[in-house]
Amino acid sequence: MDAVLTDEQKAIAEAARDLAASGLADARQMLDGGDLPAQPTLALMQGFNGLGIDEDAGGAGGSLVDVALVARELGRTVCPTSWLPHQLALQAAAAAGLDITEGMRPEARWVLIDGDPTAVRHGAGAEFAVMIDDDDVELRPVGEWEPRRPLDPTRPFAEIFLGPYLQGADHGGHQGRLRARAIVAASLAGTGLGAVERAAAYSRERQQFGKPIAVFQGVQHQLADAWTHVELAWSLALYACWAVAEAQPDAIAAVDAAVARCGDAAVFAAERGMQVHGGIGITWEADPHLALRRAMSDDAWLGGSREAELALGRALLGT
């Protein structure tokens, strides 16, 4: 794996960063009962839909690392968008060789279901669902849906009721799930990074005893620990995306390591960010809990860090 991003990948990350810039304000709006904003989802769908899927398979080309770069920037500002769940569904469908033409429309809304349709992220209003069960993959239309109250309002949940079978394959489910988990890990690394960045900025502004609290070691150590966790997690996420895309022999272990580390790092960084903010950090009006909600919610997506740690441990011990 080349450890240096290409100029094109840097441009992808910069473009995604610009699109996600309003994420925190949009997240606050949804927390206060607002609807999912149309942007930046439409712009993301116009510019990055099908990213990381070969053009021969109906995608937009690029690599899974490219998808990770976009996911990281969206997680960084806890940006509320249905783009990420849609890409996970496309990745799983493409891995099974299903026709994803309909999913490449800018206005398309697909979701990924890993066994349980009662709590599907961004399930409300979805057109199609890609279901993975063991190695089987099915594409089915979404009929009715019922909203469910989520921990993170920027990732709204719904119970969905599926229509008749459209397409399917008895292979590809495992590969699709690996790709989806690697992308979620990258998003979690971004959530952790954003929490650290906002806490660091706050520590330079908040005055205590006539000095910015950033000069106190108790604050510095918390931020340094959180940043270290997040940077290591991001490295693992990048490697996992590359390993899966390149069918490396350690791809499964790489994804388990990334999911385990990214989930832990995101929650740890969000908690440290709340600590640095002090008493105001636990209030509704402050922003730290937005990152903690996102970190805890996404950490439970597609199995989460605890399941990944258990799988990795069993593989290492040969049990």
3-state SS, residue 251: helix
Q: What is the mean pLDDT of residues 226-237?
A: 97
Helix (H) or strand (E) holding 305: helix 304-317
pLDDT value, residue 316: 81
Q: Which of 82, 72, 8 is nearest to 44 (CA)?
A: 82
| pLDDT beyond 80 at 224 | yes
| pLDDT beyond 70 at 195 | yes
pLDDT value, residue 312: 86
Percent of the chain with pLDDT over 70: 99
pLDDT value, residue 215: 86
Torsion sign across C-alpha atoms 47, 48, 50, 53: positive
CB 122 within 8 A of CB 145: no
Confidence of residue 56 (pLDDT cuts 50, 70, 90): very high
Percent of the chain with pLDDT over 90: 79
pLDDT in tens, 74-93: 999 999 999 999 999 999 99
pLDDT value, residue 285: 87
Q: Rounded to an integer, what distance in angstroms lies between the CA atom of residue 34 and that of residue 39?
A: 13
pLDDT value, residue 97: 96
pLDDT value, residue 208: 86
pLDDT value, residue 116: 76
Q: What is the mean pLDDT of residues 219-230?
A: 95
Instruction: Report the predicted TM-score, pTM, of the whole model to 2 decimal places.
Output: 0.95
Q: Which of 71, 87, 66 is nearest to 23 (CA)?
A: 71
| pLDDT beyond 90 at 244 | yes
Q: Rounded to an integer, what distance in angstroms lies between the CA atom of residue 150 and that of residue 165?
A: 28
pLDDT value, residue 4: 84
